[in-house]
Amino acid sequence: ETGVTQSPTHLIKTRGQQVTLRCSSQSGHNTVSWYQQALGQGPQFIFQYYREEENGRGNFPPRFSGLQFPNYSSELNVNALELDDSALYLCASRRGSTNYGYTFGSGTRLTVV
Amino acid sequence: GENVEQHPSTLSVQEGDSAVIKCTYSDSASNYFPWYKQELGKGPQLIIDIRSNVGEKKDQRIAVTLNKTAKHFSLHITETQPEDSAVYFCAASGDTGGFKTIFGAGTRLFVKA
pLDDT tens digit sequence for B42-54: 999 999 999 988 8
Least confident among A97-106, B34-43, B91-100: B91-100
* Cβ pair A10, A109 in contact under 8 A: yes
DSSP A10-24: EEEE-TT--EEEEEE
The torsion angle over the Cα atoms of residues A48, A49, A54 and A57, rounded to 10 degrees, is 0
Q: Is the pLDDT of residue A23 over 90?
A: yes
Mutate to test the interface with A, among B101, B103, B107 (most CBs of A within 10 A): B101
Closest to B92 measured CA to CA, from B3, B1, B13: B3
Number of other CB atoms surrounding residue B83 within 10 Å: 8
The reply to whether B86 touches chain A by the CB within 8 Å rule is no
Residues of A in contact with B1 (CB under 8 A): 59
Q: Within its chain, how far is the Cα of B35 from the centroid?
A: 4
* Cβ pair A95, A42 in contact under 8 A: no
Chains A, B: CB pairs < 8 Å = 70
Distance from CA of A99 to the nearest CA of B (A): 6
Mean pLDDT of A1-29: 93
Q: Is the pLDDT of residue B96 over 80?
A: no
Nearest to B32 among A92, A99, A106 (CB): A99
Nearest to B98 among A4, A40, A48 (CB): A48
Q: For position B85, what pLDDT does the model report? A: 97
**With bands split at pLDDT 50, 70 and 90, how would you rate the model's confidence at A97?**
low
pLDDT tens digit sequence for B64-90: 999 999 999 999 999 999 999 999 999
Residues of B in contact with A44 (CB under 8 A): 103
